[in-house]
């Protein structure tokens, strides 16, 4: 074992960029060194504001993040970005193309952008996304911005990890009935209308605000948070300062209302459940999802000799008998 002062985690705390880059890889891969580093770094985390950004592919999330980096750098903040793109369900490979919108920060040591493949984890996230965010947090970055995979109507996992979730919408994606549907639209703490220089932006703002009044007129409650709708454009540009102000306001509200700790506990519960699921699957299936035990049950389900539910129950019972 090397001297603890020169350990990867100590170098991360000391602001060593190479060590940070290495630890992120190790933590992302979840290997032994990554787990050890995370254990040392985790107690130092919990200070940064975690901002989640979600919305459909091509909505302009990465471009918006780039503008947010500019605004936060103007305020002297040290900014980390985790940009997640999907892994191929076939090859396991990925094209990570968010960074292309954020290349202007290459000379700024206070901006760290890391691309992450989803590695087939659902919900627009990656299994280790929050672990990676905790490393950035411990290294003194604040805010830490997590850009999810381009999502549709139902990928809402980010809201369980982030402290402030931005839902990005663009004009021209459908009529006002879309805004009535359950799912993604319910999770935004702030709704961002990107590309608001385009036609239809004002109509979309109107539809979203009307939707909110459908809810909030019933029980006007000044203590609760009414998600603001903020128009932004990166071409003109406008709206970014309004957005940063809205994020700050939301952060203040989280603290004042006590919701901050509610969310942090919620995040802890979500992560815990996710890792239990991950660990259980590994235990039940053995290493890798194509173990013999699993394949045997798959075959039984395929032949209609067992329901998927009963097969799962059998595997879990085997685990219990094995004392696992």
Partner 1 sequence: MADQQSPRAEQRTEHRSIRILVAKPGLDGHDRGAKVLTRAFRDAGFEVIYTGLFQTAEMIASAALQEDVDVVGLSILSGAHMTLFPPIMAALKAVGREDVLVVAGGTIPEDDIPAVKAMGVAAVFGPGTPLQTAISFVRDNAPIRLDSA
Spatial separation of the C-alpha atoms in residues 232 and 60, rounded to whole Å: 10
Based on the shown chain and the rule CB under 8 A, indicate whether residue 14 belongs to the binding site for partner 1. Answer: no
Taking CB under 8 A as the criterion, the residue among 31, 154, 175, 248 binding partner 1 is 31
Based on the shown chain and the rule CB under 8 A, indicate whether residue 291 belongs to the binding site for partner 1. Answer: no
Can you spell out the DSSP letters for 203-226?
HHHHHHHHHHHHHHTTT--TTS--
Based on the shown chain and the rule CB under 8 A, indicate whether residue 199 belongs to the binding site for partner 1. Answer: no
Q: What angle do CA 50, 53, 55 make, to 5 degrees?
A: 160
Name the DSSP class of 180.
Answer: G
Residue pair 12/23 in contact by the 8 Å Cβ criterion: yes
Nearest distance, CB of residue 270 and partner 1, angstroms: 25
Based on the shown chain and the rule CB under 8 A, indicate whether residue 43 belongs to the binding site for partner 1. Answer: no
Taking CB under 8 A as the criterion, the residue among 41, 48, 59, 112 binding partner 1 is 112
Taking CB under 8 A as the criterion, the residue among 13, 71, 96, 301 binding partner 1 is 96
Name the DSSP class of 148.
Answer: P
Distances (CA, A) of 105 to 52, 96, 151, 236, 240: 20, 17, 26, 20, 18
Spatial separation of the C-alpha atoms in residues 31 and 101, rounded to whole Å: 30
Nearest distance, CB of residue 143 and partner 1, angstroms: 17
Taking CB under 8 A as the criterion, the residue among 43, 75, 76, 107 binding partner 1 is 107
Nearest distance, CB of residue 3 and partner 1, angstroms: 10
- Residue holding tokens 């703490």? 189
Residue span binding partner 1 (CB under 8 A) among the ranges 91-99, 149-157, 245-253, 306-314: 91-99
Q: Site residues (CB under 8 A) for partner 1?
A: 1-2, 7-9, 17-18, 21-22, 24-26, 29, 31-33, 36-37, 87-88, 90-97, 99-100, 103, 106-107, 112-115, 117
């Amino acid at each position: 074992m090397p001297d603890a002062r020169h350990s990867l985690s100590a170098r991360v705390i000391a602001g060593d960029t190479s060590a940070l880059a290495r630890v992120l890889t190790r933590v992302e891969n979840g290997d032994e060194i990554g787990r050890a580093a995370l254990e040392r770094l985790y107690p130092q985390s919990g200070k940064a504001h975690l901002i989640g950004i979600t919305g459909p592919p091509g909505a302009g999330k990465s471009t918006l993040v780039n503008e947010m980096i500019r605004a936060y750098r103007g305020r002297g903040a040290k900014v980390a970005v985790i940009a997640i793109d999907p892994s191929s369900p076939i090859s396991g490979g990925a094209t990570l193309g968010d960074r292309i919108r954020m290349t202007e920060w290459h000379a700024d040591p206070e901006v760290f952008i890391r691309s992450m493949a989803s590695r087939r984890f659902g919900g627009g996230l990656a299994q280790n996304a929050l672990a990676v965010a905790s490393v950035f947090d411990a290294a003194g970055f604040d805010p830490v911005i997590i850009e999810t995979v381009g999502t549709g109507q139902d990928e809402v996992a980010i809201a369980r990890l982030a402290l402030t979730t931005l839902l990005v919408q663009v004009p021209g994606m459908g009529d006002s009935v879309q805004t009535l549907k359950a799912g993604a639209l319910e999770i935004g703490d702030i709704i961002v209308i990107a590309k608001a220089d385009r036609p239809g932006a004002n109509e979309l703002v109107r539809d979203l605000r009307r939707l909110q009044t459908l809810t909030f007129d019933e029980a006007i409650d000044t203590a609760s948070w009414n998600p603001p709708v903020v128009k932004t454009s990166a071409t003109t540009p406008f709206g970014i300062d309004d957005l940063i102000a809205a994020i700050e306001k939301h952060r203040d509200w989280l603290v004042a209302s006590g919701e901050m700790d509610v969310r942090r506990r919620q995040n802890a519960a979500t992560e815990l459940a996710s890792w239990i699921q991950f660990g259980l699957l590994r235990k039940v299936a053995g290493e890798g999802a194509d173990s013999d035990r699993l394949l045997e049950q798959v075959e039984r389900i395929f032949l209609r000799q067992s329901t998927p539910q009963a097969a799962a129950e059998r595997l879990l019972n085997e685990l219990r008998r094995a004392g696992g």
